[in-house]
Amino acid sequence: MKLTPAQFASTLDATNLRLDATDADIERICREVVDNGCACVMIYPASVPLAARVLKGTGARIGTVIGFPSGRFTTRAKAAEISAMADAGAHEVDVVMHYAALREGRAAEVASEVTELTKLAHANGQIIKVITENCFLSEAQMLQALAICEDAGADFIKTSTGFGTHGAKLEHIRLWAQHRRGPIKLKAAGGIKTLAEALALIEAGAARLGASSAGALLAEFTGGAGAGAARAARTGEAEGAEGAGGAGGY
């Protein structure tokens, strides 16, 4: 698959879900999204108003996380947060599925919630990505989650929060790509540290990548003068932010 720099950038959700992120960090990643043409900035809900101010008039999109990272919130709480984030300026919501309930055989409960939240997000004009946290699911449960998201009309299904035991895996994207029945898109997130990994995930079927090092990946993709420094920065960020299993968001 041959991508232009702009096409590659359009797959990247530039992400800062670090627990110690400052306002300056959020402003910095917002500028990165504008400068590089990334798909969106992905941040915590409390940072959305700041991002909306920084990005006003740029056309850049804002994404945020809902029910994060466990998914073990009430449907009412998730719905309230989705609507509050629409009012604050979020164009996209990455909602953590109640995957614990799916593991316990309560698929109907999970399906009801995903359907309700998808309808709400779409009524707000938001894209919804449903996070399934595949590190805790069997292959059969991953396919069950895919069917639930497709039936609900979700825009994306997403592999990971980055806070589990592992993040995106190539075989999980391939599994979903082979079994999806319709237009649902796939997002890989968690532990994407190298350009080779990013491109392999796209080749396997991922339309979006959640990456804390989006700018560095793009610099390496373009092979610009800053690519070497970008690789070093990405390595340092990955070591400081992700740790074992991708803990720290992405």
Report the catalytic residues.
94, 158, 187
For residues 206 and 189, give the distance between their C-alpha atoms in angstroms, rounded to a whole number: 10
Contact 39, 19 (CB under 8 A): no
Helices (H), 89-208: 99-103, 107-123, 139-152, 170-179, 195-204
- As a 3-state breakdown, the chain gives helix, strand, coil percent values, each rounded to 5, of 50, 15, 35
Q: CA 105, CA 103: separation in Å to the nearest integer?
A: 6
Q: Which residues of 208-231 are buried (b: 16+ CB within 10 A; e: fewer)?
A: bbbbbbbbbbbbbbbeeeebeebb
